[in-house]
Amino acid sequence: MPSLTRSLPRTSDPDMNSESLATLVGALAKKFTNLPITVVLDNACYQRNAFVMAEVERLHVTLLWLPTYSPHLNLIERCGKFVKAECWHGRCYATFAPVKKVMSDCLNRAGDHHRLKLDSLLTLKFQMFKSAS
């Protein structure tokens, strides 16, 4: 699978909102025209409005909602924690521009330089428990 960090870079400056989410979904639909697309979302309020839902339906994209309060299931949260440790730990930046550059550089090197760290961090293998009820 192609690296989306290289082919579809997106940042949330100044804010992530329904329009930027719709733009991202549109870019995915345009790039992967012959593939089924599932976008995993974490239930942010801007993700569930009528505008986003209409765009997703128009583009035939499937949404997969993570359970509420489950950052451990959200791979982007784990990736964010990794990038924060690699890029920001003990560093201070005066503006957002150098932060964005350092993050992009880190993510662009993820497949080569950081592969071993990320392979264990971004695994989809979860331990399942039976319901206590």
> Which CATH number characterizes residue 63's domain?
3.30.420.10
Q: Does 89 map to a domain?
A: yes
Angle at alpha carbon of residue 17, lines to 8 and 33, rounded to 5°: 35
Do 54 and 87 lie in one domain? The reply is: no
Final residue belonging to a domain, choices 44, 69, 94: 69
Residue that is written with structure tokens 């206590």 in the block: 132
Q: Is residue 49 part of a domain?
A: yes
Same domain, 83 and 64: no
**What DSSP string describes 66-126?**
PPTT-GGG-HHHHHHHHHIIIIITT---SSHHHHHHHHHHHHHTTTTTTHHHHHHHT----
**Digit-coded pLDDT (tens) for 80-108:** 888 888 887 788 888 888 888 888 888 88
Do 9 and 45 fall within a single domain? Answer: yes
Q: Are residues 48 and 101 in the same domain?
A: no
How high is the mean pLDDT of the chain? 80
The β-bridge partners of 38 are: 62
Q: Is residue 102 part of a domain?
A: yes
Strands 62-65 and 38-41: parallel
pLDDT band at 1 (very low <50, low <70, confident <90, very high): very low
Q: What is the pLDDT of residue 56?
A: 94
Question: Do residues 64 and 85 share a domain?
Answer: no
In which element (H, E) is residue 40 found?
Answer: strand 38-41
Number of separate domains in the chain? 2
* Residue 100: domain span: 74-123
Average pLDDT over residues 21-50: 89
Could you tell me if residue 128 is inside a domain?
Answer: no
CB distance 16 to 46 below 8 Å: yes
Asked if residue 87 lies in contact with residue 107, where contact means CB atoms within 8 angstroms, the answer is no
| pLDDT tops 90 at residue 68 | no
Q: Decide if pLDDT at 70 tops 70.
A: yes
- Within-domain flag for 132: no
User: Considering the domain boundaries, does residue 80 fall inside one?
Assistant: yes
Which carries the bigger pLDDT value, residue 116 or residue 33?
A: 33
Same domain, yes or no, for 11 and 64? yes
